[in-house]
């Protein structure tokens, strides 16, 4: 019997669409699998390229998961054998369009009782967003079977410069001819078909236990200690900022303050805190850190 798969995603630059296309290649080439791809669009588009002010203006609603209206979309089936959800983090949370999709009654309905594989394409901080996605999937009654997190593998500060260049100019090329190309590398995007093969093997056996373990063996997820450390702290701080900005009367001024706070926190405070941690704490917390990394690499929800 033909297996029915839905791959649903939002993308601005096309990067996530490219990821979905490569990841689903093994399914598309199988005669016994029918793949339906649905790209979603917000009714009021987010600008691409962004302006700095609109970019930071997306922070509170991203963090608080405030949904925006989506252009109407339909699914051909009422039940699928597998749903592939492609999303990108915005401010350590699922992007506003992705989070709106996760809260949409039509999507929630087809998620119920269905295996889901999530695949994200981001700069390098996806842990917090994935925890929120895990929660929303669970609430919708879905069974998260696998996760793949594609990142920009360059150094955290290099990728910070290049992503801002990309987002604020719309150009995914090498800034000044010096910096590397922003975003997930084309090689990693193309190679995501390997993960697609693994998911396909599990789909054909209808056996989802062990999928994430197989994906981990193939390097589908890499939890880096320093990034995990920063993200866990920043996730909590972003929630406080989003409340202050949403409740405050002078939103545009508060957003400018947040922008400078973020740059200082990332470029000055984070390296100092990481150094202190590396000397006084990390050496004594080996077991706990290993457990944390295993948890974030997995699909279970705490």
Q: Where along the sequence are the contacts to ligand FMN (CB under 6 A)? A: 11-13, 15-16, 55, 58, 88-92, 121-126, 163, 167
What are the backbone dihedrals phi and psi of residue 90, each rounded to the nearest 5 degrees, phi first?
A: -125, 125
For the chain, how many residues are written? 302
Q: How far is the CB of 165 from ligand FMN (least distance, A)?
A: 12
Rounded to 10°, the helix 225-247/270-280 angle is 130
Going by C-beta distance under 8 Å and a sequence separation of 6 or more, which residues neighbour residue 54? 46, 47
Rounded to 10°, the helix 286-297/225-247 angle is 70
Rounded to 10°, the helix 225-247/251-264 angle is 160
Provide the token pair at 97: 């369009």
Decide if 122 contacts 89 (C-beta within 8 A). yes
Cα gap 302→299, rounded to integer Å: 10
Decide if 91 contacts 234 (C-beta within 8 A). no
Closest CA to 69 of 37, 47, 96: 96
CB burial of residue 246 (10 Å; 0-12, 13-18, 19+): middle
Closest CA to 120 of 143, 139, 144: 144
Q: For residue 252, how far is the Cα from the chain centroid?
A: 27
Cα gap 4→13, rounded to integer Å: 27
Provide the token pair at 285: 């917390």
């Amino acid at each position: 019997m033909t297996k029915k798969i839905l791959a649903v995603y939002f993308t601005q630059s096309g990067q996530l669409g490219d990821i979905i296309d490569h990841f689903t290649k093994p399914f598309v080439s199988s005669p016994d699998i029918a793949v339906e791809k649905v790209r979603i669009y917000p009714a009021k588009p987010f600008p691409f390229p962004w302006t700095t002010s609109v970019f930071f203006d997306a922070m509170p609603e991203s963090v608080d998961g405030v949904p925006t209206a989506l252009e109407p979309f339909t699914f051909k089936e009422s039940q699928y054998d597998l749903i592939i959800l492609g999303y990108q983090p915005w401010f350590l949370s699922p992007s506003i369009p992705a989070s709106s999709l996760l809260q949409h009654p039509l999507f929630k309905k087809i998620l119920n009782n269905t295996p889901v594989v999530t695949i994200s394409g981001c700069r390098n901080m996806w842990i917090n967003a994935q925890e929120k996605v895990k929660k929303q999937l669970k609430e919708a009654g879905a069974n998260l079977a696998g996760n793949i997190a594609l990142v920009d593998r360059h150094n955290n500060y290099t990728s910070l410069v290049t992503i801002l260049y990309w987002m604020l100019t719309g150009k995914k090329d090498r800034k000044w001819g010096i910096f590397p190309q922003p975003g997930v590398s084309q090689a990693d995007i193309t190679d995501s078909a390997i993960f697609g093969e693994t998911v396909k093997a599990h789909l054909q056996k209808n056996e989802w236990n062990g999928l994430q373990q197989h994906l981990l063996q193939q390097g589908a997820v890499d939890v880096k200690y320093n990034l995990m450390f920063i993200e866990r702290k920043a996730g909590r701080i972003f929630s406080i900022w989003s409340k202050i900005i949403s409740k405050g009367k002078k939103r545009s001024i508060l957003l400018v303050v947040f922008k400078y706070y973020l740059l200082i926190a990332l470029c000055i405070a984070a390296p100092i805190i990481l150094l202190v941690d590396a000397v006084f704490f990390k050496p004594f917390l080996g077991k706990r850190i290993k457990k944390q990394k295993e948890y974030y690499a997995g699909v279970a929800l705490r």
